[in-house]
Homo-oligomer: A and B are copies of this chain.
């Protein structure tokens, strides 16, 4: 590995001069030296050593990306196409900004903090942590942190990029109501954050139409049990006009369970999802859902983080818009 010292020797100048040329501080360097040094730099394919840079400048150019899961399991990443698209969006943007991505599946805040400290990470992006975990991490690390898809209730909060979940639920709610649904059941595996907001949106839509009943049921969080649970509830579920699942994946499973039991979608019951993931098109009927732009979300996350690191104002959206996508899983009831 060729070092600045070697380049300097070959050019017959001091390391300082070479360093200046590398960094474009060429005001006080003679033209001839600039050219000579640049040529040698090229020839030897000089690559700076990050370790030395880190030590000398006390910055790492590293962004830590932390993915959490429910009770230490890798929930968010498995089977969920969004996580991988998000990861790819993040890396793309991080690299574009001349940073590097250190990736970790975080289990405890302790562990995450150690990682960040060990590597003097300049910023942290988290996905799949709870609001509390983010706040704790933020406190310990004292570095810019942007969470994805969190909602903060109290006064303590972390910076966050998310969606207009409430509006998404509201839009879908209105669409269902316009199509004559009188009884709408919202299904998710929790009642916090994103899913809660989507539910609130639906609820608002229902309230604005006195005659519509909306309710929220919580499914088991473990995937293995969900389909069985749906089967068990079948009789009750069939009493509703429409099922609004908090994500496409669940909606697709829901449709399969219904169809397996001989219930027709959307003739007997309408089913909708949220996200517009690849799953939405890969079922029959194709799923009516709410679209989010994951690539854009990732881009915004990195933009936000950069503005935090550089202490510049952020001119972007913290809650990205969503859009209703009408396909075939809803049938008008009027």
Q: Which positions 68-89 of chain A face chain B at CB distance < 8 Å?
A: 74, 77-81, 83-85, 87-88
Minimal Cβ-Cβ distance residue in B for A140: B45
Task: Choose, from A14-22, A236-244, A252-260, A267-275, the stretch at the interface.
Answer: A252-260
B47 near A55 with CB under 8 A, answer no
CA distance A74 to B49 in the complex (A): 29
Residues of B close to A25: CB separation below 8 A: none
Residues of B close to A65: CB separation below 8 A: 103
CA distance A120 to B51 in the complex (A): 9
Report if A26 contacts B (CB, 8 A). Answer: no
A256 near B278 with CB under 8 A, answer no
Report if A104 contacts B (CB, 8 A). Answer: yes
Minimal Cβ-Cβ distance residue in B for A48: B118
Residues of B close to A74: CB separation below 8 A: 88, 92
Contact of A120 among B49, B85, B102 (CB under 8 A): B49
A117 near B79 with CB under 8 A, answer no
Closest-CB distance, A281 to chain B (whole angstroms): 9
Q: Please give the count of copies of this chain that the complex contains.
A: 2
Closest-CB distance, A329 to chain B (whole angstroms): 14
Interface range on chain A (Cβ under 8 Å from partner): 35 or more
Report if A114 contacts B (CB, 8 A). Answer: yes
B91 near A105 with CB under 8 A, answer yes
Residues of B close to A100: CB separation below 8 A: 102, 104, 115, 119
Report if A50 contacts B (CB, 8 A). Answer: yes
Residues of B close to A77: CB separation below 8 A: 84-85, 87-88
Report if A1 contacts B (CB, 8 A). Answer: yes
A79 near B278 with CB under 8 A, answer yes
Q: Which positions 33-53 of chain A face chain B at CB distance < 8 Å?
A: 47-53
Minimal Cβ-Cβ distance residue in B for A80: B84
Minimal Cβ-Cβ distance residue in B for A114: B47
Residues of B close to A52: CB separation below 8 A: 51, 55
CA distance A315 to B212 in the complex (A): 64
Residues of B close to A120: CB separation below 8 A: 49-51
Q: A77-B85, A102-B102, A256-B284 are known contacts; what are 13 more A-B pairs with Cβ within 8 Å?
A: A50-B51, A51-B51, A51-B54, A77-B84, A77-B88, A78-B88, A79-B81, A83-B84, A84-B87, A100-B104, A100-B115, A260-B284, A283-B283
Q: What are 13 sample pairs from A and B whose C-beta atoms fall under 8 A apart?
A: A47-B114, A47-B117, A50-B120, A51-B52, A51-B54, A51-B60, A67-B88, A74-B92, A77-B88, A79-B85, A87-B103, A100-B102, A260-B284
Chain A residues within CB distance 8 Å of chain B? 1, 47-55, 60, 65, 67, 74, 77-81, 83-85, 87-88, 91-92, 95, 100-105, 114-115, 117-120, 252-253, 256, 259-260, 278-279, 282-284
Sort A-B residue pairs by CB-CB distance and give the 9 closest, nearest first: A51-B54, A84-B84, A103-B103, A51-B55, A47-B117, A79-B278, A77-B88, A74-B88, A101-B103
